[in-house]
Each structure stands twice: as structure tokens, then as C-alpha cells.
Structure 1
Amino acid sequence: MTTLSYPPKPSPGDRVAVLSPSSGLPGLLPLPYELGLRRLREEYGLEPVEYPATRTMGATPRQRADDLHAAFADPDVKAVFASIGGDDQITVVPLLDRELIRANPKPFFGMSDNTNLLALLRESGIVGFHGGTVMVELGRPGAMHPQTAESLRAALFTPGEYELRPAERWRDMDRDWADPATFDAEPETRPGTGWTWLNADRLVEGRTWGGCLEIVGWMLMAGRGVARDLSEYDGGVLFLETSEELPSGEEVFRTLRNMGERGLLGRFSALLMGRPKTWSFERPHTPEEAAAYATEQREAVTRAMRAYAPEAVVVFDVDLGHTDPHVVIPYGGLVRVDGPARRITVTY
């Protein structure tokens, strides 16, 4: 059984690394990136430090691994932020020096393709933080969503418990990051819809594993990110979310089904399912199409859970994914899912 511990937290005034372990999009789309850097300085009091591949599109896996090693090895750097996700971080993971990282534990913030690194940190005994990317959460036009900002601040600076709450307002429609006008005002949001619970007759407290469902599937195909002894996850809290690629309900079901056939899905006593992103530039769904997509995904998840983890507590539409706001989830950290009270509490 892996012994997991929370790394020391930074303090205002500290230096923090900003890296691109997946895609060097800061070089192509500097507006949300520079805005995110400014907020790290002005709103959180941290001093971001960039590395050679941070703004480099097409950086090799070795270059990105070297940046990660430099950031974790530097005693003056107190936390590490991913600029954004991507789609090939899985090629970086085999190059990483796990002993170096284990000897220099630091809070790492990232999501989407950064599921790879979060899983590696968990395997190394280090709790990571799913959320807080520079270009997405910190670089939100107009202002950070209040729930995102509050959650990130707590995860950065405050040890202990933090209670999540359903979003009062949310969105999943994006605007063009290359257009300066995008950043003149906050994006339009819509009223929150609350959480939906299944099997909410018990309380579950356990350590988390999961992340972006598509990336989880890739990791499992590559034989990475999951413990050899699946009892590692017994009684734990699985959390999953889907990306802007909008996987079909059938694809979501098949991934979960295959996790079930591996004997993994049934190990968890609770699932937090992120609110699905239902709109993308490639698939600009109408409100009716978006609602149908979300319903299809919920039905697919329910079908898989009933087949492989019928007693697990399931909570739908938690704001932990590619939608806005995005609350930070401790990866490998403790989460309490209280069905009777309809409350979710994380430990940062």
C-alpha cells in the first residue's frame, strides 16, 4: 500500500514553476497565459518562474522532462503549475526520475492531460492537485470564477478540510483566445443545476484516483498510472471528467466497462463525475443538443456503475472538469462524500 502525504505548501512571496509538460500553447496563445501569470503575482502573491520549454510548441518529451526535473530539484521553487494540458504527456512519463521527484515533493497543479503526472505523483506517495492550470482557470477572461479562485487559494495555502458546493453559475462555451476582445469581459454563464446523487444513503471517505476519462483510458492501455495491487483503491473515491473532445456516451460506457472488467471500477466506494463539457468549437451544440449529450453521458455512467459498482455512491455534475468553475481536487488526498447530508468535503 502506497503511503501518501501532502507536500509542503507555498507561502505568498514564494517562487513557483510554470511548465508545459504537454503542449507549449503559451507560445501560440499568449493572452490567457500572460493573464494567468499576472494573477499568480497580483492575486496570489506568487512569483512564477518559466522554464525553457514552457512557450515552445513541439518541445521534445526529453525537453519537457528536463524542465520538470529542474523545477522539482530547485529548493527555491515551492510549487509547480502546468500551463495547460495537451495530448502526449504519456511520452514524458517514462523519462521522469521518480527518485528525484520523491525526494523533492512539491504541490503540482494541473488537469486534463496532466492526469499522467498526477497519477505518477500518487504512485510516488505525493498528493497532487487536479486543477489550477495557468491558461484555463487563472487565465479566464474578465476575472477568475469566484468558486475557482476560492478553491485554488485554499488548496495553495490552507491545510485541512474544504467543503465543495454546487456552482451557482457555470459555463462550457468558449471564446477565441487569439482575439483580444475575448478578454474585455467575463464570459456568459448560466444558472447552476446542483448535484445529482445515486445511492446517497451512506458516507464514504477515501483517497482519490482518476482524472480526465480519456487520459485514464490511455494510461490503462499503456499499463501506467494504476497500482499493480488494485486493493490500493479499496474504499476510495474515483473522480472522472470528460474533455472538449466530447466523447460519446457509448465511448464513456466502454471505458468504464473495461475498467470494470479489469476489476478496478468496483474497488471504489464513491464516484464524483464532473459536469460534462457539452460544447466545443468543432461541435457547437445548441442548448437542446447539449442537454441531450449530458443526459446520454449520465445514462452511460449509471449503466456502467450499476453493472460493476452497484453500491457505490455516485455524484453527477461536480464542477471538477473542463467546465467553469473548476474546483481543485486533491489527487491521492482525502475526500469525504456524505450521501445523507449531500455534502462533499476535500482535504487540501
Structure 2
Amino acid sequence: MLTPGDRVAVLSPSYAAPAEFPAVHERSLERLRDEFGLAPVEFPTTRRHSTPRERAADLMAAYADPAIRAVFATIGGDDQITVLPHLDPAPFVADPKPFFGYSDNTNLLNWLWCHGVAGYHGMSTMVHLSRASGVGPEVAASLRAALFTGGDLEIRPAAEFREDELNWGDPIALTGSVPSLTSPGRVWHGAGRVVSGRTWGGCLESLHPTLAVGRWVRPVADYAGSILLLETSEEMPSATAVFRMLRDFGERGLLEQFPAVLVGTAKATALFQPRPVEERQAYRDEQREAVLKAFAAYHPEAMIVFGVDFGHTDPQWVLPYGGRMTVDGIARTITAHY
């Protein structure tokens, strides 16, 4: 566990958004200092577009520095898979400090998982620490549990959520807000039992390339009994694409390893690909049917919970990755063990 005053690395292991939107980045650093009492430390590539080898060097330097006690990603991106071949596992295994990120950072979370290092799925600094409305209570509570207190935290469903976005290139991004909508709520499938296990998974559009290249994929038996975290991004893949990606998981023998699956509230609109509010739930419904179709073919006994507030949604819970969670289908509760 960390203590106030500890130094934490703030890195851009995928897209260097601080290079394009420095004001948004600065606010996120202020909130790390003022609201969490941490001392953020930037590295050479935090604010600079750089090569995969350079970003890997910063990751290794952060893990090799004993004064750094946690590592945060500023945001995701789309090429982190090219960073992984340049990483030496030694400093990560020697000092397995927590890493926080999601989206394209699924690549690094999986890489760490394969080397026995747990992390946390969620909380990109520029997304969740820069909003004019402040740090959301779900992010704050789960981040404090992960960093400072440990213990068990119930991952409660949100009554309202937000999925519209502000353009960081517009000054209103630092002062404005987006509308809250009624949450689509959770849908339980195959409930009636309790599953506890360590977690694995992440953003589907990042997991699928990992399987395609075949690096840092362990034998299927190593995933047995794990809880699958599954969510999609602002790319908004079609239901057909989601089914086909999960079918590939099934053909590898992966889907049958997971007794429980948590599916994040699917993002159904994006800044540069907006969708009318009245059409968004249909997208989520179609995605749910695609997931159910895949599991019906490869693991019909799985317990699946849709509409969990993690991943590309707001509010967002920061969930253990490689750590443990409990899905109680009888009580209809989800608990993270930090």
C-alpha cells in the first residue's frame, strides 16, 4: 500500500496525449497532488510522441526506480502491442508495483499478468482526473482502495451514466460537462451461484490482436477459474465483429475457462462518430446478444453480468486485474478485493 507523499510515475505508454492537450494533463497532475496526496513524476516520453523502444525504456525506468510506488497511464492509444517486445521483465518482477490503465493499456496489463504481476483495469489520468466536475466517486473510492486501504469494495451499479465527450482541443473541456442519462442497468445471465477468482481480460479490441500475434498468451489451463473482464471502446465494434472475436477466443479454448464474465457498459457514441441517444440502447442490446451467442456455443454454463460500470464508461470503477473479485449471482452483487 502507498502512503501520502509517495512518488508515482505518470507515463504515456501508448498515445502521448499530454503533447497535444497540456492543460488537460496539468489538471490531472494537480488532482493527483491535491486530492490523493501523491507526487507525480513524468518521464521523457510522457509529453512527447516517441518510438515503442523509447516508451518501453520509460516503463522499465519507472519500475526500476524504488522511489516510484505506482505507475499511471495518461491515456490509451492503438499501438502499445509494439512496445511489449522491448520490455525486460526483470524490473517488473523485482518490484511489482501497481499499474493503472485500460483501453490500449490492456496490452501491458496482460503482459504483466503473464509475468505474475497484478495491476488495475481503469483510471487513465487525463480521462478521469481532469473533468470540471471533479473526480467521480466511483473512481475515487476504488482508486483509494487500490492505493491506500485495500479491503473489499462492492462494485455498485450506477443510477446514471455519461457517454458523450468534450473535445480536449476546445477550452470548454476544462469547464464544461456532458449530460447524465439513466443507466441501462445490469442484466444477469446464468446467475444462481457464487464465483470468486482472479481477473483477466480487458478491452476486446486490444485482446484480440494479442491472440492474433500469439505473444504473451499462456496455455488455456492457466486461465481456468478466472473471472473474465470484457469491454469495448469508442471504436464501437459491431455485434458481428464482437461475436467473431469471441468465437476466436472460443476456438482457442479460452471461453470455457471462465466461470463468470463481467461485461462493461458498452460505449454507444463517440466524439467523432456520434449516435442519437434514442439509438444507443439498441447497439448495447445487439452487443449483449452477440456475447450470449458466443458463450452459448462455447460455454453455456458461464454466469455473465452485463452493464457493469468499468472500461469506456463514466462512472468507472477501477478493478483488480490479476487480483481477486467475487461475483455473487444469488445476492446479485459484485465485490472487488483490493
Contact 2:184 2:281 in 1 (8 A): no
Distance 1:250 1:329 in 2: 27
1:40 pairs, out of 32, 47, 51, with 32
Q: How many residues align?
A: 338
What TM-score, normalized to structure 1?
0.95
Which residue of structure 2 aligns with residue 262 of structure 1?
252
Distance 2:78 2:284 in 1: 23
Which residue of structure 1 aligns with residue 331 of structure 2?
341
* AA partner of residue 239 (structure 2): G
Distance 2:152 2:281 in 1: 33
1:53 pairs, out of 19, 41, 45, with 45
Contact 2:166 2:177 in 1 (8 A): no
Distance 1:118 1:225 in 2: 11
1:326 pairs, out of 316, 320, 330, with 316
Render the CA deviation track for 1:182-233: whole Å, top value 9, x for unaligned: 2214332112232110011111111111000000001111112421x21111
Render the CA deviation track for 1:284-323: whole Å, top value 9, x for unaligned: 1001221111111111011111111101110001011111
Distance 2:216 2:119 in 1: 13
Which residue of structure 2 aligns with residue 143 of structure 1?
134
Contact 1:17 1:71 in 2 (8 A): yes
CA RMSD in angstroms comes to: 1.1
Contact 2:154 2:335 in 1 (8 A): yes
2:190 pairs, out of 172, 186, 199, with 199
> Where does the alignment leave 5 or more consecutive residues of structure 1 unmatched?
1-8
The question of 1:92 aligning with 2:83 is answered yes
Matches within 5 A, 1:185-196: 185-196=176-187
* AA partner of residue 330 (structure 2): P
Matches within 5 A, 1:1-348: 9-57=1-49, 59-227=50-218, 229-348=219-338
* AA partner of residue 61 (structure 1): P
What TM-score, normalized to structure 2?
0.98
Q: Per the alignment, in what secondary structure is the counterpart of residue 43 of structure 1?
A: helix
Distance 1:141 1:285 in 2: 24
* AA partner of residue 214 (structure 1): E
Superposition deviation, residue 328 in structure 1:
0.8
Distance 1:328 1:304 in 2: 26
> Where does the alignment leave 5 or more consecutive residues of structure 2 unmatched?
none
Distance 1:112 1:54 in 2: 17
- State which drifts further: 143-152 or 17-26: 143-152
Distance 2:203 2:246 in 1: 12
Superposition deviation, residue 25 in structure 1:
1.0
Contact 2:92 2:117 in 1 (8 A): no
Contact 2:310 2:318 in 1 (8 A): yes
Distance 1:144 1:32 in 2: 13
Distance 2:178 2:210 in 1: 33
Distance 2:74 2:264 in 1: 21
- State which drifts further: 207-216 or 31-40: 31-40
| Runs of 4+ residues over 3 Å off in structure 1 | none
Distance 2:180 2:8 in 1: 31
Superposition deviation, residue 32 in structure 1:
2.2
Q: Per the alignment, in what secondary structure is the counterpart of residue 36 of structure 2?
A: coil
Q: Per the alignment, in what secondary structure is the counterpart of residue 211 of structure 1?
A: strand
Distance 1:91 1:265, change over 3 A: same
Distance 1:126 1:153 in 2: 20
Distance 2:155 2:77 in 1: 27
Distance 1:161 1:277 in 2: 27
Render the CA deviation track for 1:47-88: whole Å, top value 9, x for unaligned: 00000000112x001110110011001111110000100011
Distance 2:270 2:289 in 1: 21
